[in-house]
Amino acid sequence: MIRVSIVGASGYSGVYLIRALSSRPDVSISVITSNSNAGKKLSDFFPLFAKTFPKNSLLSKIKFSLFDADLIGGSSDAVFFCLPHNESSKLIPAVLKKNKDVKIIDIGADFRFDDVSVYERNYGRHNAPELNGGFVYGLSDVFYDKIKNSQFIANPGCYPTGALLPILPLVFKGCVDFSFPVIIDSMSGISGAGRGLKLQNLFCEIENSAKAYNVWTHRHLPEIKEKIEKACKLTPDVIFTPHVIPVSRGILTTVYLKLNKDSTMENIAGIYESFYSGSPFVSILNNIEDCNIKNVVYTNNCHIAFEIREENAAGSAGLMVKIVSAIDNLGKGASLQAIQNMNLMFGLEPDFGIPQYSPYP
């Protein structure tokens, strides 16, 4: 039995972890924390859990508690941190002091960067830089071998997940001509902004609308850029524009790349199929119009499709590819990828206990 605690369990990613883990026979949820809802019963705060669990079971009675490092460290084999940036790095050292062997999966941003100075330029002072080098970037379908042998995982951001899954295989195989910038446009459902009350996220503000935001300053850009630079050992230009659309969940990403001249539809398709042949979650579709949010919401799946044509790019003729990816920002972009990482860390199959099918229609 894997004993699990969830720190910051009343947000969207936290409650989705509870929902996904509660049905697993091999997992016991020990502690769920929420500073703002401490003492409240889970099923009272989230009625979706009313009568979900067997009467008198632990989860039928479980309440949110305040953070207690000794309690969490002493009753957990794995701890998920679902907190805003700069918060988990304050708390993780205390949990490790109680239990030096506990596995940590941080869904926040605190340990996603190899270079702490890049983190600090974008998020502020790091609270535990001494731990940063021990974290593996948890893009599960790419770095699974490293994840299997790691105690600490930094779960990727939702936008970086949707962008890097289609980009990295082509970068690793040397297919990308970086004389042209890497261009990424992403559209996200409103749940990506979290549960906090914000004027711009009210129904009357977003209904029947769509908008770009933080077009030069979004904090996921340096995360995407660092991982591409590490893969290609260059410093290419990366342009990222996020958009919010009036759906509750899902991210649709379009990537524009210039390819090396010997690339073809067939060899690009072959690269993707080979790269993700061991992944139960990443699918390469034949028709780019089939790559849509509706087919992946409530799952850990990523759908990828692409088209290639000759274009005049960056002032010279070249082969361009447009790649579309679709993920669920709360699933593949957060909680379900975190569970995939937990599975790998405990030697389980990556898809064990993770929903595979979207509730279509």
Query: Would 179 be classed as within a structural domain?
Result: yes
Confidence of residue 317 (pLDDT cuts 50, 70, 90): low
3-state secondary structure the chain: CEEEEEECCCCHHHHHHHHHHCCCCCEEEEEEECCCCCCCEHHHHCHHHCCCCCCCCHHHHCEEECCCHHHHHHCCCEEEECCCCCCHHHHHHHHHHHCCCCEEEECCCCCCCCCHHHHHHHHCCCCCHHHHCCEEECCCCCCHHHHHCCCEEECCCHHHHHHHHHHHHHHHCCCECCCCCEEEEEEECHHHHCCCCCHHHCHHHHCCCCEECCCCCCCHHHHHHHHHHHHHCCCCCEEEEEEECCCCCCEEEEEEEEECCCCCHHHHHHHHHHHCCCCCCEEECCCHHHCCHHHCCCCCCEEEEEEEEEEEECCEEEEEEEEEEEECCCHHHHHHHHHHHHHHHCCCCCCCCCCCCCCCC
pLDDT tens string 232-258: 999 999 999 999 999 999 999 999 999
Q: State residue 26's pLDDT score.
A: 96
Query: Would 125 be classed as within a structural domain?
Result: yes
Burial class (CB in 10 A: 0-12, 13-18, 19+), 142: buried
Query: Would 298 be classed as within a structural domain?
Result: yes
User: 131 and 166: one domain?
Assistant: no
Rounded average pLDDT over 40-62: 77
User: 103 and 163: one domain?
Assistant: no
**Statement: the pTM of the whole predicted model exceeds 0.85:** yes
Which CATH number fits the domain that encloses residue 266? 3.30.360.10
Rounded average pLDDT over 204-215: 90
Which CATH number fits the domain that encloses residue 110? 3.40.50.720
Query: Would 360 be classed as within a structural domain?
Result: no
Specify whether the CB–CB gap between 251 and 271 falls below 8 A.
no
* Mean of all residue pLDDT scores within the chain: 93
Cis amide leading into 361 (omega within 30):
yes
Q: Please give the biggest Cα pair distance in the chain.
A: 69
Rounded average pLDDT over 122-126: 96
How far apart, in whole angstroms, are the C-alpha atoms of residue 30 and residue 251?
32
User: 114 and 167: one domain?
Assistant: no
User: 111 and 167: one domain?
Assistant: no
User: 168 and 307: one domain?
Assistant: yes
Query: Would 13 be classed as within a structural domain?
Result: yes
User: How many separate domains does the chain show?
Assistant: 2
Rounded average pLDDT over 9-34: 94
Query: Would 12 be classed as within a structural domain?
Result: yes
Confidence of residue 318 (pLDDT cuts 50, 70, 90): confident
Angle value at C-alpha 284, between 280 and 289, nearest 5 degrees: 130
User: 181 and 42: one domain?
Assistant: no
How far apart, in whole angstroms, are the C-alpha atoms of residue 357 and residue 250?
14
Between 236 and 312, whose confidence is greater? 236
Confidence of residue 202 (pLDDT cuts 50, 70, 90): confident
Output the six-digit token pair for 353: 């206990």
The residues pairing with 3 across neighbouring beta strands, listed in sequence order, are 28
Q: State residue 106's pLDDT score.
A: 99
pLDDT tens string 99-116: 999 999 999 999 999 999
Query: Would 185 be classed as within a structural domain?
Result: yes
How far apart, in whole angstroms, are the C-alpha atoms of residue 338 and residue 153?
9
Q: State residue 54's pLDDT score.
A: 67
User: 130 and 235: one domain?
Assistant: no
Cα distance between the two ends of the chain = 35
Left if phi > 0, otherwise alpha if psi is -120 to 50, otherwise beta: which for 249? beta
User: 228 and 309: one domain?
Assistant: yes
User: 193 and 323: one domain?
Assistant: yes
Output the six-digit token pair for 80: 């998920």
How far apart, in whole angstroms, are the C-alpha atoms of residue 152 and residue 277?
26
Name the one residue in this structure whose structure tokens are 């850009």.
221
User: 189 and 317: one domain?
Assistant: yes
Measured in whole angstroms, the distance separating CA 142 from the mean position of its chain's CA atoms is: 13
User: 39 and 107: one domain?
Assistant: yes
82, 158, 232, 291: which one is catalytic?
158
How far apart, in whole angstroms, are the C-alpha atoms of residue 18 and residue 23?
9
Cα dist. 13→8, 70, 183, 257, 324 in Å?
Answer: 9, 24, 28, 32, 24
Rounded average pLDDT over 142-169: 98
Q: State residue 79's pLDDT score.
A: 99
Rounded average pLDDT over 341-360: 93
Say yes or no to pLDDT of 57 above 70.
no
User: 133 and 172: one domain?
Assistant: no
Measured in whole angstroms, the distance separating CA 72 from the mean position of its chain's CA atoms is: 24
Q: Is 291 a catalytic residue?
A: no
Q: State residue 310's pLDDT score.
A: 83
Domain that holds residue 67: 2-156+332-345
Query: Would 352 be classed as within a structural domain?
Result: no
